[in-house]
Amino acid sequence: MERLRLVLFAVLSVWLPAAWLPAQQWGDLSATFVYDGQLPKEATLTVTKDAEFCGKFRIVDESLAVNAENKGISNVFAYLYLGRSGESPRPHPSYDATVRASVKLDSNCCRFDPHVLLLRTTQTLILSNSDEIRHSCKIVTFANPPINYTIPAKGQVEHGFSHAEQLPARVSCAIHPWMSAWLLIRDNPYMASSDANGRLLIKNLPVGKWTIQFWHEKAGYLSQVNQGGKRIEWKNGRLEVDIKPGENKLGPITLEQTVFAD
């Protein structure tokens, strides 16, 4: 009898009008990352190549960017963790407009702009060069073949990636070794990076339980965090969240200075 009920339910799910079926619900996930400790000193990087051009710019180490006013930590990655065999959920319709979009990483004033970048496997990466000298763009990936393009002055190259990467990929310039950026490649749009105030937002996640991966270039997996005044361990930088309809706030998440120690 139970088996018959299950069969009937499956058949009705296919044939019932969509209006009779429960609608998919969605929720936003937000967080703010705050630095706990003495503000890191902004270090100027040494220009060792093409000094006549690159020496005109003040180029700083961007591996740990902390807002001097509110101690917000920039460039924290947060993204849906599905394991190596997990299936990506069907995205919210609001993401349809950007599914085939182009995403630009520019070499400008002898640095990569932006420092962190999010890319879907359906999108095209544009590697552009706004400078008057040539640059290269090397991206070290594992699920995709690594790339290393030489980009002439004022030129650009387009590239696509077929597979999602488990971690952000490092971007470098073989000609100018101080240049560095990070690229996260995923097969779904559920990812974000924290802004200059340490805030990030992943919009329109399907309601339900999901695991979110947190990572920062200086710290790696964000495993030791402080939340609500308590020290908490996120194993391998992962947190299970139960997304409810509407807003889902993790609140301020504090990271101690030691998390970023070399």
Q: Which residue ranges make up each domain of the chain?
A: 24-260
- Give CA–CA dist 167/224, Å, rounded: 18
Alpha carbons 116 and 78: distance in angstroms, whole number: 12
- Give the separation between CA 61 and CA 108, rounded to whole angstroms: 15
Give first-to-last CA distance, the chain, whole Å.
63
Longest dimension (CA), the chain: 82
Can you give 28-43 as a three-state secondary structure string? EEEEEEEEECCCCCCC
260 phi and psi angles, rounded to 5 deg = -105, 10
Distance CA 145, CA 139 (A): 9
Is residue 197 within 8 Å of 72, Cβ to Cβ?
yes
Segments of the chain with pLDDT less than 70? 1-22
What CA–CA distance (Å, rounded) separates 228 from 233? Answer: 13
Alpha-carbon separation of residue 206 from 70, 78, 224, 242, 246 (angstroms)? 31, 16, 27, 10, 11
Residue 221, both tokens: 């997996």
Local structure of 262: helix, strand or coil: coil
- Fold of the domain built from segment(s) 24-260: Immunoglobulin-like (2.60.40)
pTM for the model stands at 0.90
- SS3 (DSSP) at 1: coil
Q: What is the pLDDT of residue 16?
A: 44
Please tell me the predicted confidence (pLDDT) of residue 9: 45
